[in-house]
């Protein structure tokens, strides 16, 4: 891929804009509330788009296109099953407790609802996880740019990290959110032409369907048995593992996204944030998965005179990860190519900024202020937040370099994190909706759930695949790593749910007066009957879920 000077100009204009926003917001950062929570002043539409954008990393865009090429429209389950229902749930049912508790972070909510040790466990694992994952995506981005454009990977990592560092250190969460909204528009404008042109080249949806296997254009028809579809998962594992445990665990408890809603300017805006985000989210499969399917279609049955789109790897499989970049290089002339690369860069930066702002908040409030230096003045914590931003970015860069040298260690870390994440939603569900849940129950339930996830991994394997960690004993073989992942999550969630419930019953619960605003039944319901329909979370949720159902039926 060769870049023309116009492409470079477009990328530089983008960098100038994001930095300018950071500089313009610098003066507003007068205290920690502005820096870490955007002064709780973000309008619903902006919080909603930032909520979505913080999750739209470059790895997600490239990975979802790759999955589209590998599994077809089945990949849409990551959106229509694995995101929208959870986004509706967090907006309607959980946000009243997050926002109403006035907690500044998700770990702080756990402290208010349960106790110090549950908060400490969550804060520590979350902080470590966010810096590592932003480092891993930093490496992936640098490696991609180096491969595509022949740019120097060290320069790519350093420059992109410096831009993100600067605009967050200057403008805090407000700057991150403003830029995420800007990045959202760039992502949409940058990827839309490739989806349109690809589909046009493949002869529309029907032309595309004729080029790929039948299983690639149906989302549910082949989910009856695990061996009937390319993902190797049956409908129950899909709905329970991905749709319930993993999806609710991410969208409802991950501070990276929840922080955006907590920054909204009112309870009503906070509740509408994930619902507003759900509308573009449900359309994203057309933007990222469809180009992936087109890439496969034009590889299996290229148009006359055209070369197959995807390259073949040494082991005979296609290089799926190149689907999106190669589609861009085929359909984007100089000019549009600059826009497309800007979109990739924007998606990378939005995710990294999401990680960094979530990290600096959890570090400053839940670790530094709680355990290291309590009772300092506000200016001190504002200073610490800026330091944590620098520190977080530096650790991310170190992680990126570690990932460059020891690929396996990073995969292992991600695996271990998945053990910690899988049971989380059980803790929140019980904590928010059953006032009898206790701190001991929550903490030991989480430990048990994490242990169950690890044990499940140790006792099962994936047919024909090598394992990252040595196994104790193999009692069951899954047809795909996705099936193993989904079922592991189900096991972890169930263990945590049962253990938390059982331990709560034999330990002392908090008094009702301490749980006001934190638990369902002890919190005043917000009434929104007098509002217009599009300002009522429950109505919006019904609309969003109906549209998602319709999409599932269309692509059944």
Partner 1 sequence: MRLDLRYPIGLLLTTYGVILAIQGAIVRATVLGLNVNLYWGVIMMISGLVALYLARRRSPSARGDKSGG
Question: Can you give the binding site for partner 1, defined by CB under 8 A?
Answer: 6, 9-10, 13-14, 17, 20-21, 24-25, 28, 41, 46, 178, 181-182, 185-186, 189, 193, 197, 200-201, 331-336, 339
The DSSP element (H or E) to which 462 belongs, if any, is strand 460-462
Cα separation, 106 vs 183, in Å, equals 25
Residue 185 or 476 having the CB closest to partner 1: 185
Cα separation, 442 vs 19, in Å, equals 42
Q: What is the closest distance, in whole angstroms, from the C-beta atom of residue 269 to partner 1 in the complex? A: 14
Give the max Cα distance, the chain.
75
Q: What is the closest distance, in whole angstroms, from the C-beta atom of residue 146 to partner 1 in the complex? A: 25
Q: Which two tokens stand for residue 492?
A: 């972890």
- Check: CB of residue 115 under 8 Å from CB of residue 515: no
How many other C-beta atoms are found inside a 10 Å radius of the C-beta of residue 531?
Answer: 12
Residue 5 or 206 having the CB closest to partner 1: 5
Q: How far is CA 477 from the centre of its chain?
A: 28
- Check: CB of residue 43 under 8 Å from CB of residue 269: yes
How many other C-beta atoms are found inside a 10 Å radius of the C-beta of residue 549?
Answer: 12
Q: What is the closest distance, in whole angstroms, from the C-beta atom of residue 14 to partner 1 in the complex? A: 7
Judged on CB neighbours under 10 Å (0-12, 13-18, 19+), 57 is buried
Q: What is the closest distance, in whole angstroms, from the C-beta atom of residue 330 to partner 1 in the complex? A: 9
Residue 28 or 494 having the CB closest to partner 1: 28
Cα separation, 325 vs 310, in Å, equals 10
Residue 49 or 323 having the CB closest to partner 1: 49
Q: What is the closest distance, in whole angstroms, from the C-beta atom of residue 539 to partner 1 in the complex? A: 21
- Following DSSP, what letter does each residue of 254-276 receive, concatenated? -HHHHHHHHTBSSHHHHHHHHHH
Q: What is the closest distance, in whole angstroms, from the C-beta atom of residue 494 to partner 1 in the complex? A: 43
Q: What is the closest distance, in whole angstroms, from the C-beta atom of residue 7 to partner 1 in the complex? A: 10
Residue 26 or 154 having the CB closest to partner 1: 26
Residue 37 or 336 having the CB closest to partner 1: 336
Q: What is the closest distance, in whole angstroms, from the C-beta atom of residue 145 to partner 1 in the complex? A: 20
Torsions phi, psi for 433 (to 5 deg):
-115, 0
Cα separation, 275 vs 192, in Å, equals 22
Residue 511 or 532 having the CB closest to partner 1: 532
Residue 200 or 531 having the CB closest to partner 1: 200
Cα separation, 63 vs 407, in Å, equals 17
Of the candidates 137, 116, 89, which has an alpha carbon nearest to the alpha carbon of residue 347?
137
Q: What is the closest distance, in whole angstroms, from the C-beta atom of residue 185 to partner 1 in the complex? A: 6
Q: What is the closest distance, in whole angstroms, from the C-beta atom of residue 488 to partner 1 in the complex? A: 41
**The tokens 């044990």 sit on which residue?**
455
Residue 185 or 533 having the CB closest to partner 1: 185
- Following DSSP, what letter does each residue of 467-485 receive, concatenated? -SS--S---EEESSHHHHH
Cα separation, 15 vs 346, in Å, equals 9
Residue 181 or 395 having the CB closest to partner 1: 181
């Amino acid at each position: 891929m060769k870049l023309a000077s116009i492409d470079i100009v477009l990328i530089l204009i983008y960098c100038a804009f994001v930095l300018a926003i950071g500089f313009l917001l610098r003066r507003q950062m007068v205290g920690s509330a502005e820096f870490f929570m955007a002064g709780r002043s973000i309008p619903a539409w902006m919080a909603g788009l930032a909520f979505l954008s913080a999750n739209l990393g470059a790895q997600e865009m490239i990975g979802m296109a790759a999955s589209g090429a590998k599994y077809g429209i089945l990949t849409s389950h990551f959106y229509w099953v694995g995101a929208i229902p959870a986004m509706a749930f967090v907006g309607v049912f959980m946000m009243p407790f997050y926002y109403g508790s006035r907690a500044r972070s998700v770990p702080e909510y756990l402290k208010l609802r349960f106790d110090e040790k549950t908060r400490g466990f969550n804060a520590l694992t979350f902080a470590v996880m966010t810096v590592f994952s932003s480092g891993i995506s930093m490496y992936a981005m640098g490696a991609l740019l180096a491969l595509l454009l022949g740019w120097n990977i060290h320069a790519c990592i350093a420059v992109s990290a410096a831009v993100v560092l600067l605009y967050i250190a200057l403008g805090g969460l407000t700057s991150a959110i403003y830029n995420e909204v800007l990045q959202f528009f760039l992502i949409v404008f940058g990827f839309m032409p490739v989806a349109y042109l690809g589909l046009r080249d493949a002869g529309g949806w029907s032309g595309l369907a004729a080029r790929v296997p039948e299983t690639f254009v149906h989302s549910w028809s082949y989910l009856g048995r695990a061996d009937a579809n390319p993902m190797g998962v049956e409908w129950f594992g899909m709905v329970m593992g991905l749709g319930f445990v993993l999806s609710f665990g991410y969208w409802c408890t991950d501070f990276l996204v929840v922080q955006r809603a907590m920054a909204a300017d009112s309870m009503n805006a906070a509740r509408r944030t994930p619902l507003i985000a759900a509308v573009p989210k449900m359309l994203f499969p057309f933007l990222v998965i469809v180009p992936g399917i087109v890439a496969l279609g034009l590889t299996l049955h290229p148009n006359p005179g055209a070369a197959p789109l995807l390259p073949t790897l040494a082991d005979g499989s296609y290089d799926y990860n190149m689907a999106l970049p190669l589609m861009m290089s085929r359909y984007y002339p100089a000019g549009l190519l600059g826009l497309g690369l800007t979109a990739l860069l924007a998606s990378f930066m939005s995710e990294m900024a999401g990680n960094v702002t979530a990290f600096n908040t959890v570090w400053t409030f839940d670790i530094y202020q709680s355990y290291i230096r309590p009772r300092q003045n506000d200016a001190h914590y504002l200073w610490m937040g800026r330091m944590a931003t620098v520190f977080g970015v530096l650790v991310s860069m170190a992680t990126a370099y570690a990932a460059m040298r020891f690929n396996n260690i990073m995969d292992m870390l991600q695996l271990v994190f998945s053990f910690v994440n899988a049971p989380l939603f059980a803790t929140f569900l019980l904590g928010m909706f059953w006032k009898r849940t206790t701190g001991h129950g929550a903490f030991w339930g989480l430990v048990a759930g994490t242990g169950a996830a690890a044990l499940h991994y140790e006792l099962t394997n994936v047919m024909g695949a090598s394992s990252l960690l040595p196994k104790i004993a193999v009692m069951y073989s899954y047809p795909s790593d996705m099936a193993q992942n989904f079922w592991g999550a189900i096991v972890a969630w169930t263990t945590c749910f049962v253990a938390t419930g059982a331990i709560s019953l034999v330990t002392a619960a908090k008094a009702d007066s301490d749980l006001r605003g934190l638990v369902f039944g002890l919190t005043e319901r917000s009434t929104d009957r007098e509002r217009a329909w599009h300002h009522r979370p429950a109505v919006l949720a019904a609309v969003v879920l109906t549209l998602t159902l319709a999409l599932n039926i269309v692509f059944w």
